[in-house]
Amino acid sequence: MLVVRQLGRALHGVPQLLLVQPEQLNYDLAYALALLPLVIAGIVFFLQDALLLFAISFLSGIVCLLALQLARLTFGLPAWIGFRATHPLVASVLIACFFPPRTPAWVAATMVILFIVIDTVIWPQLQRVMLHPALIVFGVLFLIQRQLGFGYVNPFDGRHLDDPLTLWYKLQLVIDPVKLYVGNVSGPIGVTSAGAVLIGATYLWYTRKISLGVVTGFLCGIAAVALVIRSDLGFQLASGPSLFLAGYIAADRRRVLIPERFTFAFGVAAGMATMILRWYGEGQQAAWQGLLLVSVVATIAIRAQDLLRGRVRVPKRTAPLRTLSVESGEPPDPHRLWAPVRQEAPQAVMAMSPVATAYSRAANVRPVRSFDMQTDSNDLVRQMRRAATRGGPVRGGIRSPLAIGLALAIINPVGLVLTWTTRSLNRPTRLLLTGISLIWYLAAAGLAFLLLTHR
């Protein structure tokens, strides 16, 4: 009964957490909730194609998540890996929303793994870079799409059809903005519906996870150029993929490094570049190309500003001070008049031990554990870095490169045996990895069933 009451109280507090106090949510949970309307709309419009791509992408995210966890438990990873990175499961759905319906399974899995590797391992080292790695992944996807020839299809009959912006450029055909808002047009599986994208972006703004200046500036930039060229304003603004790239990708506060007062100008520049690229026939790809171009320019400006500030802040070497020592009642000594100041020899600072003092007679000295919470916060950080770089209690375990490779490749019976035979893993971790492995087998079986029935 106590467990049921605690569960009831937790469920009773969920609506208050999601709607009344959303700023307490972390980025991954907020993005997961904001992606739900996109996933539902994609499955409703594209049915089996969308379900298959979402399943493959999610399974790829599970593989990457388990690989990262096993890497941390076996040989340890540096502390900067995963810093400000999107959770692998959320990242898999985020990338899958931009896939065309006829994307091959191996392309979908490769794009998800590529984004997780870049976002988790490479991007944290770059630090001051205002360029979302998803834009690079979408560029690679565009190149593969042009080489293999898979594109967009009509969600009603499944026939190949260009996206609305390409039709507007080729045939001067303006599609009803209501259809774009609903989503019954050709396009990526998760972002054809501008209404679903607006619902998710509104929730992200409500949770204070995205910058409103970037989104509004992007729409204003598109509207300004559309009015100049006398194009249909509602048609240009109701593009679901463009709203997705601006709201979910470019406006992420973890990636926005410029001050808040400059975010609107950033969005305006990206919107104008997007509209100009549409005018020259780039179609659906103009949004990520415009955002990529403006992000590169912003990154160069940030780097140049940091370089200039670094040069200004370099302290100049000053000449040593010379003192005039005059004693009362005595004439000054000309030999000591301009003598330099005597440098004091640095004295060693006595380190205080947090475990026991040297003056206590009956003090029970106990060994200091790794990551001891009783020490200073700086000591805690140093202990974590030392364990991640030089090796600590997390480095004991599997030493064989072959076993590590098999365990990191995929969770299989060999990986389960290694999981239960490794002494460094506790019982909850073993049960968690075993449960996820069973889910992986069930999902793989379901995927195989879908592939067989799809044929």
Pick the closest to residue 185 from 156, 145, 151 (CA basis).
Answer: 156
User: Residue 297 has what pLDDT?
Assistant: 92
Residues 274 and 221 sit within 8 Å (Cβ to Cβ):
yes
User: Residue 384 has what pLDDT?
Assistant: 56
* Cα-only R_g, the chain: 29
- The CA–CA distances, whole Å, from 94 to 82, 97, 163, 181 equal 17, 6, 20, 20
Residue count (the chain): 455
> In b/e form, how buried is each residue of 296-307, taking b as 16+ CB within 10 angstroms?
eebbeeeeeeee
d(CA 303, CA 318): 29
d(CA 124, CA 133): 11
Dihedrals phi, psi of 337, to nearest 5 degrees: -70, -45
Q: Which two tokens stand for residue 19?
A: 């709607």
Cα dihedral 222, 228, 229, 230 sign: positive
- The CA–CA distances, whole Å, from 261 to 172, 245, 274, 279, 327 equal 38, 21, 22, 29, 60
User: Residue 348 has what pLDDT?
Assistant: 43
d(CA 330, CA 123): 69
Q: Digits of tens for pLDDT over the chain (455 positions)?
A: 544 455 456 555 566 666 666 777 888 899 999 999 999 999 999 988 899 999 999 999 999 999 888 888 887 777 667 777 889 999 999 999 999 998 999 999 999 999 999 998 888 878 788 889 999 999 999 999 888 888 888 887 778 888 889 888 888 888 888 989 998 888 899 999 999 999 999 999 999 899 999 999 999 999 999 999 888 898 999 999 999 999 999 999 888 888 888 999 999 999 999 999 999 888 889 999 999 999 999 999 988 888 888 765 544 454 455 444 444 444 445 444 444 545 544 444 444 444 443 444 444 444 444 444 444 445 555 555 565 555 444 344 444 555 444 444 454 666 666 667 776 667 777 777 777 777 767 766 666 666 666 55
- Other CB atoms within 10 A of residue 430 CB: 15
- 379 contacts: CB under 8 Å, gap ≥ 6: 372
DSSP string, 167-184: HHHHH-PPPPHHHHHHT-
d(CA 396, CA 75): 7
Residues 232 and 282 sit within 8 Å (Cβ to Cβ):
no
Q: What one-character DSSP code corresponds to residue 156?
A: T
Pick the closest to residue 140 from 104, 115, 170 (CA basis).
Answer: 115
User: Residue 363 has what pLDDT?
Assistant: 42
Q: Which two tokens stand for residue 10?
A: 């937790």
d(CA 327, CA 64): 76
User: Residue 71 has what pLDDT?
Assistant: 84
Residues 165 and 286 sit within 8 Å (Cβ to Cβ):
yes
